[in-house]
């Protein structure tokens, strides 16, 4: 049957948009260079804490019962008629990178709250409870491991490991949870939900290229993060002959070039490699760098090819070290996740909801990491992608989805959650 059925529900797109804009003002900054307004709300900073308090207020206004666990994960719960039934879970994250837009993660959290508001306004009760999760440190850019809160909730990482992680100023995540008041009492291990569906911006160009409004996500590619520290020898840039140098800066540059040659070789399938952080010390024009630090972000939908890329990079680092007297390299594993396929039955429920809303949709793999890839260890999991403008740029103040695109995605989420919660 095509076309709207009674459980094809639509949300209040204007109210959703307003809450997205209001939340984006918390941690907002003006980018002088571009004149754009960005968001800087790193996990467990004062801005993130203020954003969390705002989301909790909206959850409580929507009648949700709120709990906070030892990782600072926030859950808002709308009871069902059968309190013994496992809940349908939705949600995402509101922590951001330092140069963010208004939508990454926030759309999934505020979209979930909007779904609950509509269920109440329409007087719809569901057998299953509906819960909205707000997961801590999804971005991983402050404490170095991404999808951290959801990985602990799903039992892949321990709270002790997470609490001990430090930011670049040496502050621990555990200490920041206490300082901001988000070291909650609730059990950090999530009871397996009935299903988890997350709505998120695509953060890429595929939906727009195919001129469709909604993406049914088939899975998330694997992620490998490591930090490399290179120790060389400081030396005068003018007086030191090249053959006497142990140049840490040069070694870092060679690693970046080698990563690109690995990608271009095609030997690692659809490998993507990024050196996002690079610092040399003492970072002065006329001194050969004594030390360099860089991060390597690898992505690959094929776990075997990812493993081979990591091994070959390690071998290259050894060659670099052996080939330069006085140079030593140390690596630190920051994050590692495998390719995660999403639940096919849930993907069909999402696709049917999109059809019932008359929305064109395609299936696609997620290039970005998401909390859903962690929660998938607990229950059937899938995602709804929302189209982005400007080639889907993200992790940038230019990140933008139209009010209509956001409403389309959350309407599909709402109808999907309602259908699952009445099963």
Task: Provide the binding-site residues for ligand HGY, judged by CB under 6 A.
Answer: 138-139, 146, 368-369
Measure the CA–CA gap between 129 and 422, rounded to whole angstroms. 9
Phi first, then psi: what are they for 395, rounded to 5°? 60, 40
Measure the CA–CA gap between 84 and 354, rounded to whole angstroms. 30
Give me the least distance between CB of 409 and ligand HGY, in Å please: 17
Lookup result for tokens 């899938």: 382
Helix axes 403-421, 106-121, angle to 10 degrees: 60
Nearest residue (CB) to ligand HGY, 335 versus 379: 335
Give me the least distance between CB of 220 and ligand HGY, in Å please: 8
Nearest residue (CB) to ligand HGY, 289 versus 369: 369
Nearest residue (CB) to ligand HGY, 356 versus 399: 399
Q: Which has the closest alpha carbon to 131: 197, 182, 50?
A: 197
Nearest residue (CB) to ligand HGY, 138 versus 176: 138
Measure the CA–CA gap between 154 and 45, rounded to whole angstroms. 24
Nearest residue (CB) to Mn ion, 245 versus 370: 370
Give me the least distance between CB of 222 and ligand HGY, in Å please: 11
Nearest residue (CB) to ligand HGY, 146 versus 374: 146
343 binds, among ligand HGY, Mn ion, none (CB under 5 to 8 A by kind): none
Strands 278-281 and 291-300: antiparallel
Give me the least distance between CB of 394 and Mn ion, in Å please: 7
Contact between 416 and 357 (Cβ < 8 Å): no
Cβ-count burial of 194 within 10 angstroms (0-12 exposed, 13-18 middle, 19+ buried)?
Answer: middle
Q: Which has the closest alpha carbon to 221: 386, 393, 369, 394?
A: 369
247 binds, among ligand HGY, Mn ion, none (CB under 5 to 8 A by kind): none
Write the DSSP string, 196-229: EEEEEE--SSHHHHTT-SEEEEEEE-EEEEEEEE
Measure the CA–CA gap between 372 and 197, rounded to whole angstroms. 8
Give me the least distance between CB of 277 and Mn ion, in Å please: 16
146 binds, among ligand HGY, Mn ion, none (CB under 5 to 8 A by kind): ligand HGY
Consecutive H or E run containing 38: strand 36-39
Ramachandran quadrant class, 392 (left: phi over 0; alpha: psi -120 to 50; beta: rest) = left
Ramachandran quadrant class, 333 (left: phi over 0; alpha: psi -120 to 50; beta: rest) = beta
Give me the least distance between CB of 351 and ligand HGY, in Å please: 24
Cα angle 178, 227, 152 (rounded to 5 degrees) comes to 40
Give me the least distance between CB of 23 and ligand HGY, in Å please: 17
249 binds, among ligand HGY, Mn ion, none (CB under 5 to 8 A by kind): none
Q: Which two tokens stand for residue 21?
A: 């804009």
Give me the least distance between CB of 223 and ligand HGY, in Å please: 7
Q: Which two tokens stand for residue 134?
A: 């707000």
Nearest residue (CB) to ligand HGY, 337 versus 352: 337
Measure the CA–CA gap between 298 and 223, rounded to whole angstroms. 6
Nearest residue (CB) to ligand HGY, 139 versus 356: 139
Nearest residue (CB) to ligand HGY, 45 versus 352: 45
Q: Which two tokens stand for residue 129?
A: 């409870």
Give me the least distance between CB of 106 and ligand HGY, in Å please: 13
Q: Give the binding site for Mn ion (CB under 5 A).
A: 104-105, 369-370
105 binds, among ligand HGY, Mn ion, none (CB under 5 to 8 A by kind): Mn ion
């Amino acid at each position: 049957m095509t076309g709207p059925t009674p459980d094809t529900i639509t949300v209040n797109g204007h109210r959703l948009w307003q809450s997205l804009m209001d939340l984006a003002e918390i941690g907002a900054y003006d980018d002088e260079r571009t004149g754009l307004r960005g968001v800087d709300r790193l996990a467990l900073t004062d801005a993130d804490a203020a954003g969390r308090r705002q989301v909790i207020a909206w959850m409580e206004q929507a009648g949700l019962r709120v709990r906070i666990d030892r990782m600072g994960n926030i859950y808002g719960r709308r009871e069902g008629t059968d309190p013994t039934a496992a809940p349908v879970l939705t949600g995402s994250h509101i922590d951001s990178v330092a140069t963010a837009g208004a939508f990454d993660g926030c759309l999934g959290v505020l979209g979930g709250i909007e779904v609950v508001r509509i269920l109440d306004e329409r007087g719809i009760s569901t057998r299953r409870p509906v819960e909205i999760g707000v997961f801590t440190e999804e971005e991983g850019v402050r404490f170095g491991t991404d999808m951290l809160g959801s990985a602990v909730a799903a039992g892949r990482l321990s709270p002790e490991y997470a609490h001990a992680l430090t930011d670049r100023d040496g502050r621990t995540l555990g200490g920041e949870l206490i300082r901001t008041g988000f070291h909650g009492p609730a059990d950090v291990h999530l009871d397996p939900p009935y299903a988890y569906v997350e709505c998120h911006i695509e953060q890429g160009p595929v939906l727009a290229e195919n001129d469709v409004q909604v993406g049914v996500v088939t899975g998330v590619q694997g992620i490998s993060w490591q930090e490399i520290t290179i120790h060389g020898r400081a030396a005068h840039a003018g007086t030191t002959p090249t053959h006497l140098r142990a140049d840490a800066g040069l070694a870092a540059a060679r690693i970046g070039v080698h990563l690109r040659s690995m990608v271009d070789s095609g030997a690692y399938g659809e490998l993507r490699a990024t050196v996002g952080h690079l610092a040399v010390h003492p970072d002065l024009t006329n001194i050969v760098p004594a030390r360099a630090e860089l991060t390597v972000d690898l992505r690959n939908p094929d776990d075997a090819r990812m493993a081979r890329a990591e091994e070959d990079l390690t071998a290259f680092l050894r060659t670099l070290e052996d080939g330069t007297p006085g140079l030593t390299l140390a690596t630190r594993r920051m994050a590692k996740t495998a390719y995660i396929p999403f639940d096919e039955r849930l993907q069909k429920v999402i696709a049917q909801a999109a059809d019932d809303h008359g929305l064109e949709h395609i299936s696609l793999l997620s290039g970005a990491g998401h909390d859903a890839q962690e929660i998938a260890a607990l229950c059937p999991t899938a995602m709804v992608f929302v189209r982005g403008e400007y080639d889907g740029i993200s992790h940038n103040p230019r990140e933008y989805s139209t009010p209509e695109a956001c409403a389309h995605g959350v309407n599909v989420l709402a109808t999907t959650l309602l259908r699952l919660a009445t099963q």
